[in-house]
Amino acid sequence: MMAIDRSTFHAGGRIGFLLVHGLGGTPVELRFVAQGLARAGFTVYCCQLAGHCASVEDLRLSTWREWYASVEAAHDRLKPHCDVIIAGGLSMGGILAMHLAHNRPESVHGLALYAPTLWLNGWAMPWYARILRYVYPTPLKIEINLPENEPYGIKDERIRAFVVNSMLSTDSSAAGVFCTPLRSFANFNSLVSVVKRQLSKIKTPALIIHPRHDDIADIDNAYYLQRKLGGLVDMVVLDDSYHIITLDRQRSVVVDRSVEFAHAVANELGTGVTTVKPVQINAAE
């Protein structure tokens, strides 16, 4: 199955957002937030990670270093359009954004972390999720796929039904895959182990938005990052959402707090950069 490029670019002002989707997900899960930020005048790029938006086998064969290379390529594309860049994303996307901030501190000015995930320890995770954190890449050929579990990260039943129907369809490019290869979790763990060692060196100011009742990644993920990150951290706790906060009931809160954070970062930098009315919406280049 050939991957469909679901990346989206919204042209706006000189303050930009680079948003990264989660493991097994797609840029579509960030669409509402991206559109809200674009309406507020920001330039927004939602990139697509390598191995995603295609088959489960494509996801299995991709590595975390390839996922991260996608983020660096997206950052390179966004830089000519922006003087201030906020990097962030949903779940694993936030972890990749932190790795980018560590490697490119001079050109990542803020972090927007939406339900950032270091451990899969939410209340709806199966018993074997506690073991997954100890799985790392191996030369052995591993073809085990782990299914998604209800409520699939979404509290709103109407939105959940739409997402589940999309995942069950033959087109995984919109809502992502309905199961995740064990090998992908192993690569995820490798990424996390690298980023955990970098946290104290990441001085970039961060916004963390995490649901109190996260079904996939308990809020202690956010508390851990709040304690360990080396820069200022602003934390927002949502009370009516599950893991995929960019689609769930409080998605407007995610947009509003992200807008406030981006303006605060720009003001702190003293660049005088502002947002403008966007000239182009949902234009993929």
Please tell me the predicted confidence (pLDDT) of residue 165. Answer: 76
Q: Are strands 8-10 and 43-47 parallel, antiparallel or unpaired?
A: antiparallel
Please tell me the predicted confidence (pLDDT) of residue 171. Answer: 55
Please tell me the predicted confidence (pLDDT) of residue 285. Answer: 36
Higher-confidence residue: 2 or 256? 256
CA distance 182 to 137: 9
What domains, with CATH codes, occur in the chain? 8-269 (3.40.50.1820)
- Phi, psi dihedral angles at 118 (to 5 degrees): -105, -35
Nearest 5 degrees, angle CA 131-CA 150-CA 48?
80
Please tell me the predicted confidence (pLDDT) of residue 282. Answer: 39
CB-based contact 87:186 (threshold 8 Å): no
**Bond preceding residue 181 cis, omega within 30 of 0:** no
278 has pLDDT over 60: no
Q: What are the tens digits of pLDDT across the range 151-175?
A: 999 999 999 888 777 766 655 555 5
Q: What are the tens digits of pLDDT across the range 81-117?
A: 999 999 999 999 999 999 999 999 999 999 999 999 9
Please tell me the predicted confidence (pLDDT) of residue 42. Answer: 98
Structure tokens at 55: 């088959």
CA distance 256 to 258: 5
Mean pLDDT value of segment 32-54: 96
Q: What are the tens digits of pLDDT across the range 16-32?
A: 999 999 999 999 999 99
Mean pLDDT value of segment 185-200: 97
Q: What are the tens digits of pLDDT across the range 218-252?
A: 999 999 999 999 999 999 999 999 999 999 999 99
CB-based contact 19:34 (threshold 8 Å): yes
